Structure 1
């Protein structure tokens, strides 16, 4: 029986920054724009993500 080759996880993959959840790493989130008395939705506007402050990388929420 041949010996099994095992591979160790690469260190480069572990050091990659984790994407932010709400913005999926883009740094921007979309909000619905409502107008009129009935407050109907007419479009969307984008703004920076407040979870990562526009960087796109997840931050520690424990601090």
Structure 2
């Protein structure tokens, strides 16, 4: 019987999806306002892979 490799752990920030929801900000750099809208963004912890980064 062959042993299988353990599955990689899911990323804690995106929960294994690879994307997170970011708040949309509008306005100039000095007067940045947050809106109630959200947009999908690439998870910067796992770079969209969905797996937890290794130590």
Q: TM-score if structure 1 supplies the norm length?
A: 0.63
Number of equivalences: 50
Q: TM-score if structure 2 supplies the norm length?
A: 0.70
Structure 2 unaligned segments of length 5 or more: list them. Answer: none
Structure 1 unaligned segments of length 5 or more: list them. Answer: 1-10
Higher percent of residues as helix: 1
Rg larger for? 1
Aligned-residue Cα RMSD (Å) equals 2.3
Higher percent of residues as strand: 2
